[in-house]
């Protein structure tokens, strides 16, 4: 019979280097919703517009300013609507969770029958 080796997955994970993350003001930016997409769109569009401005004008300083301004504008224009929609979805999810907890609490009680009667009258 052959002895099968048991692999200790915890030991393997302990040997791996820790994942690095970028923190700003004590907050992990990789865990922040909308951060990655807004910066990727901003960087790519800023580089493209800066390159096109350089190709058109052949003035490196001006094209750098145009590229950086495009980066900042794109990042902000993507960040704020994305965060607004994320916050709205979070509020709706919290409200739904609260209502589901109330439903579970009232299920089969006199309070549920009272609420059902009110709903039928309305």
Q: pTM score, two decimals?
A: 0.64
Domain boundaries, the chain: 28-120
In total, the chain counts a number of residues equal to 122
Q: Are 44 and 67 in contact (CB under 8 A)?
A: no
CA dist 65 to 45, 50, 51, 58, 97, Å? Answer: 13, 8, 11, 13, 47
**pLDDT digits (tens), the chain, 122 positions:** 555 666 666 655 655 666 677 777 777 777 788 888 999 999 999 999 999 999 999 999 999 999 999 999 999 999 999 999 999 999 999 999 998 998 888 888 888 888 888 888 87
């Amino acid at each position: 019979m052959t002895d099968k080796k048991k692999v200790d997955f915890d030991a393997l994970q302990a040997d791996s280097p820790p994942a690095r993350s970028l923190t700003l003001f004590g907050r992990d930016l990789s865990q922040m919703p909308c951060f990655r997409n807004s910066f990727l769109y901003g960087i790519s569009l800023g580089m493209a517009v800066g390159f096109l401005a350089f190709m058109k004008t052949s003035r490196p300083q001006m094209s750098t300013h145009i590229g950086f301004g495009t980066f900042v504008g794109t990042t902000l224009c993507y960040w704020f609507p994305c965060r607004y929609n994320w916050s709205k979805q979070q509020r709706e999810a919290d409200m739904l969770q609260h209502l589901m907890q109330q439903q579970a609490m009232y299920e089969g009680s006199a309070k549920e029958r009272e609420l059902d009667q009110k709903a039928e009258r309305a």
